[in-house]
Amino acid sequence: MSTLRTEVGIVGAGPAGLVLSHLLYLEGIDSAVLENRSRQYCEERIRAGVLESGTVDLLVQMGVGERMKREGLIHYGIELRFGGQGHRIDFKDLTGRAITVYGQHEVIKDLIQARLATGGRILFEVEDVRIDGFESAHPKIHYTHAGQPGEIHCDFIAGCDGSHGVCRPSVPPGALTVYDRQYPFGWLGILAEAPPASEELIYAHHDRGFALHSMRSPQITRLYLQCAPDENLDQWPDDRIWEELQTRLSGGNDWRLHEGRILQKGVTGMRSYVVEPMQHGRLFLAGDAAHIVPPTGAKGLNLAVADVRVLARALNAFYSTGSTTELDRYSKACLRRVWRVQRFSWWMTSMLHKHEGNPFDERRQLAELDYVTSSRAASQSLAENYVGLPMDDTLLR
């Protein structure tokens, strides 16, 4: 049995776990990260790609933003397309800020490289992870690595293991309140070897359902179609996907998507989910382990980063003064942002997706889109949420 002692034991090497580990390192606090997937799998897993300006600033401050600054695409707006016409939301004019398009897997590569280059401990491909002792001052993480059992003894556990991890289910029944909303649709997403047909993201509301044109680089397009939550991908040969995307994203003129080889296809369910509180004893939940947002607002990764920024500061306050005041406030501080982001993600989802059934909803959605694209106040509300709520302490009070 191998036993390892550290200050903060972190489960999960996604954005939450890796950003936390590096922030702690920069404050001189020791941590170890356990991850059940391989390094290659983590670095190739295609997920989010829109970084809020606050996330970008934090990654730069942490010294992991070099490649992002070189290769990331800075966008000063998005387009909302409905009734066959496009309407631009101009972030620069409305907020003075921008978003950066840079794949989550690229952020992960940069973080893993920085952690390993600075002596960080990340154990990939661990199995049977189990946590206990977090209701005492002596939490433990148990695992198996290369067939050998191991234990991490730590002061705190950070549960950064995503929506299907082991940390949240380890909290005793009844200690957490769950808020959950499932949507009757999902997204069929593709990654295509084709240059983006527009410089900015296009969110399309269409009679046949929602569609999104996004990108990961000047050569790679990321596209999504609203579909059933359990859509069978076998029913979607490449030609059908392109045809449906061309229809839903059509702009009324001769604008067309650039088509290319489809590199990856997948269906993602849509859910809004929060557990409260985000802490139990010395276990702190962060990112998708504590909350899930539908991807329409492009917030999941950004919210994970915002959580661990708060947690790193609270842990730093504990290790430098012995005070638990900030740790005790962790959940309350995070939840204020979490619920605002939940509201925004739910609102974008409800406005843009086709809801079967009541024609009233269709008319209401069009009125909402008309309002959002013609009123400066309404456009500004969308823009300030999209580029990201402040990462300073405004939301911590």
Ligand X SMILES: Cc1cc2nc3c(=O)[nH]c(=O)nc-3n(C[C@H](O)[C@H](O)[C@H](O)COP(=O)(O)OP(=O)(O)OC[C@H]3O[C@@H](n4cnc5c(N)ncnc54)[C@H](O)[C@@H]3O)c2cc1C
* Cis bond upstream, residue 277 (ω within 30): yes
Tell me the C-alpha distance between 226 and 208, whole Å: 9
185 φ, ψ to 5°?
-145, 170
Q: Which of 143, 203, 224, 330 is catalytic?
A: 203
- Max CA-CA distance within the chain? 67
Site string for ligand X, 41-70 (x = CB under 6 A): -x----xx-x--------------------
Tell me the C-alpha distance between 187 and 278, whole Å: 28
Nearer to ligand X, 80 or 160 (CB): 160
Whether the CB-CB separation of 319 and 311 falls below 8 Å is answered with: no
- Taking CB under 6 A as the criterion, which residues in 302-361 touch ligand X? 304
Where residue 322 falls (left for φ over 0; alpha for ψ -120 to 50; beta otherwise) is left
Tell me the C-alpha distance between 213 and 109, whole Å: 24
Give the binding range for ligand X (CB under 6 A) out of 40-48, 81-89, 92-100, 115-123. Answer: 40-48
Active site residue 371: no
User: Which of 6, 21, 31, 36 forms a contact with ligand X (CB under 6 A)?
Assistant: 36
Task: Supply the minimum distance, in Å, between the C-beta of residue 192 and ligand X.
Answer: 14
Whether the CB-CB separation of 80 and 87 falls below 8 Å is answered with: yes
Is residue 27 packed enough to be buried (19+ CB in 10 Å), middle (13-18) or exposed (0-12)?
middle
Does 220 interact with ligand X (rule: CB under 6 A)?
A: no
Active site residue 295: yes
Q: Which of 164, 345, 162, 186 is nearest to 268 (CA)?
A: 186
383 membership: H or E segment, kind and range: helix 376-387
- N residues, the chain: 397
Dihedral of alpha carbons 350, 354, 356, 360, sign: positive
Site string for ligand X, 226-265 (x = CB under 6 A): ----------------------------------------
Nearer to ligand X, 129 or 278 (CB): 129
Does 86 interact with ligand X (rule: CB under 6 A)?
A: no
Q: Which of 206, 280, 299, 353 is catalytic?
A: 299
Q: Which of 75, 105, 205, 291 is catalytic?
A: 75
Active site residue 386: yes
Active site residue 164: no
User: Which of 23, 32, 35, 262 forms a contact with ligand X (CB under 6 A)?
Assistant: 35
- Taking CB under 6 A as the criterion, which residues in 282-311 touch ligand X? 287-288, 295, 298, 300-301, 304
Q: Which of 115, 119, 160 is nearest to 286 (CA)?
A: 160
Does 186 interact with ligand X (rule: CB under 6 A)?
A: no
User: Which of 73, 166, 317, 366 forms a contact with ligand X (CB under 6 A)?
Assistant: 166
Structure tokens at 301: 């990764």
- Taking CB under 6 A as the criterion, which residues in 6-25 touch ligand X? 11-17
Binding site for ligand X (CB under 6 A): 11-17, 34-37, 42, 47-48, 50, 104, 126, 129, 160-162, 165-166, 268, 287-288, 295, 298, 300-301, 304
Q: Which residues are catalytic?
A: 75, 203, 295, 299, 386
